[in-house]
Structure 1
Amino acid sequence: MGTTRPTATRGERETPSGRSLQHCLHVVGFLDLFGVSMIVPLLNHHVKSLGASPTTAGIIGSCYGMFQLFSSSLVGSWSDVVGRRYSLMTCIVISALGYALLGVSTNIYIYALARIPVGIFKHSLSISKAFLSDLVTEEERPIVMGRFNAASSLGFILGPVVGGSLTELPGGFYITSFLCSSIFIINAGLVWLLPWYEDKPSCVAPFPNESSFNGITDTSALKSDLTLHTYQMENQIIKKHKKQTFWTQVVSAFRKVAGVAFSHMWEIFLVRLLSAIAVMLYYSNFALAMEERFHMTPRMTGYLISYGSTLGVLAGFLLGPLSRIYKHNSYIMLLHSNILTFFSILVYSLAPKMWIVVLALTLLAFSTNIGRTCIVDLELTQGVKHGSGTLIGVGQSVTSVGRILVPLWSGIAQEYSPCGPPQLGAVLSLASIFLMYKSKLCYSGSAQTKVKSA
């Protein structure tokens, strides 16, 4: 099959081209979420204006989630096979076409058709994260990922404001759709202009003796050896990937996904699923619960959500010093962030006063953003042989399962109480903590050496 492109050494990362590539990817992440967050809040209103019933709108939304579920892993693995730059540009361009098609959706059929390419290929953020993971050492990976999440979140803060303003104009939705598509085209151009020096010999190097690395626990030494070998074969690998047929690429992607599916990593993916569902349940009826419990207006609720998003950006920039305090031990950081998430959700669900809700939201904004970065770092560290694109893609598929389950579970929980969804989320968050504590002996060492124990 192939071996994953190794993480860059510190010397490689510190080159000017390496730093500029990281900064460019941060801009890519910002523009991506800026464009998406302009249009996504308007989708429900637009689909209703086309005459769709709530059931029809729900079916289209579920289909989008199903596309994301099955395509995340394959597209991520495909980026390991053909290279980050090519796959990233492909995803951005096809997504741009999907959003442009939304701009001409004058009936429900065109609207549904427009959601298909976006559902399959909207994985630019995942590939960007895989790209970044290729450029840095394991020790610095959580810090760089945190900065990327912070830069992307800035776009999520600004996008709804711009989209909400444009939608008040005549034909505002269509203007917003075409603007979103234009932003994605600009993003594709930015990816095309990225420094080519850092896009090393694709992300998969063909090692005929890959099995000889099985059982090796010194991942730093392994990556050093792979780096030397991979760079020596750069020209041969690039020529080989140019000759690959699309069918060969698809088969390779399926094999890599299957390798992860039958690996020892089910525990960390289960922790990710439980944590993701817990937070989704918290947000699932947040606006409605604020109105029923504290008589808060939608505008004030929007300000409260923006406040949480802003704190999430700050948490991304604090990952550097926090990681040094924890001596780059992502497992302990994730465990503590999950504990904080559990208490935040529980306190919110029981809060009798508004100031307690604000306190819980403040703590949750920090814990969820830190935990999201740490769990990706754990996945990449444990599955070093599977490929960062494949691992991040499978992780996104796991999260997509939560997006499918949460609407149903939230609806059932709300039958009992407006606080039902967050209380159920607190239970699932506690389950993720128990699972992490039970499997703590499966993790060892710092971020440089921790791997799954045999």
Structure 2
Amino acid sequence: MNLKIIILYLITFVDLFAVGLVVPLISSHVISLGGTHFIVGLMGSFYCGLQLFSGPILGSLSDVNGRKPVLIVTLLCCSIAYFCFGCISSIYVLLFLRMVLGVFKHTQTLSKAFVTDIVKSDVQSEVYGKMAAISGVGITLAPVIGGHISEDYPDHGFLTVCMITSILFVVNAGLVYAIKGNKNDTRETSKSDVAVKNINYLQLINNSWAKSIKELKDIDWYTYWDAFLLKGLVGFSMSIFHSNYSPLLKINYNLSPKWIGYTISFQGVVGSCCSFFIDYLNNKFYKNDKNYTQRNLHCFAALTCTFAIMIICNQWYLFVLLLIPIATANAILRLITLEMIVRKSSEKHRGSLIGAANSVRSISGIIGPFVAGSLADLVGVRYVLIVSLVSASIGFAIARSYRKSDKYIKIDKKKK
């Protein structure tokens, strides 16, 4: 196997392992410093929003200046931010540092761009799949280790975790530096390169945002409204759920950081297994579900029932068991809502529709943490799940209305 690919696998593993150590502890740390759930939600919304804006900028910079220097700089910036995160007790400075991380934390995206430079196109999909699997192991193991450190050293556990995370980002920068012979780093500067280097990056941000808005405006909503609405509903309900995850475990079930880590890791394992077996589930139980109505109905019903039970359940073991239908339904819905859009589209507009679908998911990720944090301060963390329940219930109602319809099949026939 190519040494460069092995190093990229290691980089993506270390990246999500480092993030998985500290991110589950952030909400509890902020609240322990006197912060509110609203501040925690604001951190999540700012992070997701800045990820959306900064992604095209860093991607463009890596096209011009090479993957290695851009990736190294972003990793070192993240290292400094996490180092400061552990040392500083000002909530507003922590909010600012979370925003800094939102701008620079693009290791996974830049690593995938790196793959396009060093791997032939016919094997890139295989490499992406292995990267996702390997990095998934990191994000699954890390919460347990971070929880143990935080619990075993209560006076300075969060600081220790932040220091380890900071060091791991430096290690990753060293791994990136060790990659030799990337063509983007050695190519000669041409006139076109000089022109690109003179890009107004503020204008690029504006263009990126304008492109997302344009993609949403240009969609034939009469044809696609149901698929996009279902995608937005599942994205929003899961965003609310994940934004409220650690506080819910700590307050409702009085779990220590260690057991919160175990719970998060269990959900990661379940999610990975669901993604791995999703083809089997579709072929085994939904072979004749050509218009997706049965899967939508069953998955939104599962989410609705699960969120309803979670709101009233007081046993942690029951909560853990409920993670299984949530992870399964989420994995299936994320896939089939995209398939619905692709199947109903013509080849000419397929790229724009996929981009618009990603924009819908990103917007859900921005709004969700803000709503979850605001409601947690008003009604308590348990009842924030009512929003997820309502969102899933609307999805269930839409899916049920199409139960006996072959709407999607008719559209396919017209397209042909």
Same fold (TM over 0.5): yes
Are 1:399 and 2:351 an aligned pair? no
What is residue 271 of structure 2 aligned with on the other side?
Answer: 312
For 1:69-148, list aligned pairs within 5 A: 69-76=49-56, 78-79=58-59, 82-83=62-63, 85=67, 87-108=70-91, 110-128=93-111, 147-148=130-131
Shift of 1:364: 2.2
- Is the CA contact 2:372–2:384 (under 8 Å) kept in the aligned structure 1? no
CA-CA distance at 1:262 after TM superposition: 0.8
Of 158, 181, 193, 1:241 maps to 193
1:189 is aligned to 2:141: no
Give the deviation of 1:90 after TM superposition.
Answer: 4.2
Per-residue CA deviations over 1:10-53 (Å, capped at 9, x if unaligned) read xxxxxx65x963x554433322221112122333444455xx43
Q: Deviations over 1:174-209 (max 9, x none)?
A: 222121112112223333445756x7x79xxxxxxx
The CA distance in 2 between the partners of 1:401 and 1:289, in whole Å, is: 19
Alignment partner of 1:53 is 2:34: yes
SS in 2 for 1:262: helix
Does 2:24 correspond to 1:36? no
Amino acid in the other structure paired with 2:324: T
Cα pair 2:16 2:135 within 8 Å, conserved: yes
> Which residue, 340, 364, 367 being the options, matches 2:326?
364
Aligned to 2:235: 276
The alpha-carbon distance between structure 1 residues 259 and 174, as it changes in their structure 2 partners (threshold 3 A), is: same
Work out the CA distance in 2 between the residues paired with 1:326 and 1:402: 32
1:111-147: per-residue Cα shift (whole Å, max 9, x none)?
Answer: 3443331132223334445666897979995x86665
What is the letter of the counterpart of residue 148 of structure 2? S
Q: Do the aligned partners of 2:291 and 2:409 also contact (CA within 8 Å) in 1?
A: no
Q: Tell whether 2:207 aligns with 1:255.
A: yes
For 2:100 and 2:274, the matched residues in 1 are separated by: 33
Alignment of 1:375-454 (within 5 A): 395-409=361-375, 420-430=386-396, 433=399, 440=408
Query: Does the 8 A contact of 1:274 with 1:432 survive in 2?
Result: no
Q: Which one has a larger percent helix, Structure 1 or Structure 2?
A: 2
Matched-pair contact (CA < 8 Å) for 1:82–1:249: no
Q: Are the equivalent residues in 2 in contact too, given 1:100–1:178 (CA < 8 A)?
A: yes
* CA 1:81–1:393: 2 relative to 1, 3 Å: farther
| Rounded Cα–Cα distance in structure 2 between residues aligned with 1:339 and 1:314 | 19
What amino acid is aligned across from residue 363 of structure 1 in structure 2?
P
- Counterparts of 2:399 and 2:189, CA distance in 1: 43
User: How far 1:429 sits from its partner (Å)?
Assistant: 3.9
Q: In percent, how many aligned pairs have the same letter?
A: 20
CA distance in 2, matches of 1:321, 1:190: 37
Deviation at 1:93, TM superposition (A): 2.9
2:115, 2:410 → 1: CA distance? Answer: 26
User: Structure 2 length normalisation: TM-score?
Assistant: 0.69
Q: Distance in 1 between matches of 2:158 and 2:139?
A: 18
Task: Kindly state the Cα deviation for residue 99 of structure 1 after the two structures are TM-superposed.
Answer: 0.9
For the residues of structure 1 that align with 2:20 and 2:365, how far apart are their CA atoms?
19
The one-letter code sitting in structure 2 at the alignment partner of 1:65 is S
User: Secondary structure of the equivalent of 1:54?
Assistant: coil
- Which residues of 2 match residues 204-243 of structure 1 at below 5 A? 240-241=192-193, 243=195
| Pair 392,125 (structure 1): closer, same or farther in 2 beyond 3 Å | farther
Q: Give the direction of change, closer, same or farther, for the CA distance of 1:401–1:102 in structure 2 (3 Å limit).
A: same
CA distance in 1 between counterparts of 2:22 and 2:157 reads: 10
Q: Greater CA deviation, 104-113 or 385-394?
A: 385-394
The one-letter code sitting in structure 2 at the alignment partner of 1:85 is R
Question: C-alpha distance in 1, partners of 2:382/2:161?
Answer: 39
**1:88 to 1:371, Cα distance in 2 relative to 1, 3 A:** farther
Matching residue's letter, 1:66: F
Any idea what SS the aligned residue of 2:88 has?
coil
Q: Distance in 1 between matches of 2:121 and 2:35?
A: 48
* CA-atom RMSD in angstroms: 5.3
Measure, in 2, the Cα distance between the counterparts of 1:320 and 1:100.
Answer: 42
The 1-side partners of 2:411 and 2:4 are apart by 34
Aligned residues: 392
Separation in 1, partners of 2:161, 2:278: 34
Equivalent in the alignment of 1:206: none
Q: Which residue pairs with 2:305 in the alignment?
A: 346
- Decide which moves more: 334-343 or 176-185: 334-343
**Whole-angstrom distance in 2 between the partners of 1:280 and 1:28:** 27
Deviations 1:333-352 (A, max 9, x none): 89837842541441452488
Label 1:398 to 1:130 Cα distance change in 2 as closer, same or farther (>3 A). farther
Structure 1 gaps of 5+ residues are 1-15, 203-233, 446-452
Is the contact made by 1:105 and 1:111 (CA closer than 8 Å) also made in structure 2? yes
Q: Equivalent residue of 1:312, what SS?
A: helix
- 5+ unaligned residues in a row in structure 2: which ranges? none
**3-state SS of 2:176 partner:** helix
Select between 272-281 and 179-188 the one with higher mean Cα deviation. Answer: 272-281
Does structure 2 retain, via aligned residues, the 8 Å contact 1:71–1:120?
Answer: yes
CA distance 1:423–1:116, shift in 2 (3 Å): closer
Matched position secondary structure for 1:180: helix
Q: Deviations over 1:352-371 (max 9, x none)?
A: 89787555422322332454
| Contact 1:92–1:188 (8 Å) recurs in 2 | yes
Q: 1:379 to 1:137 in 2, by over 3 A?
A: farther
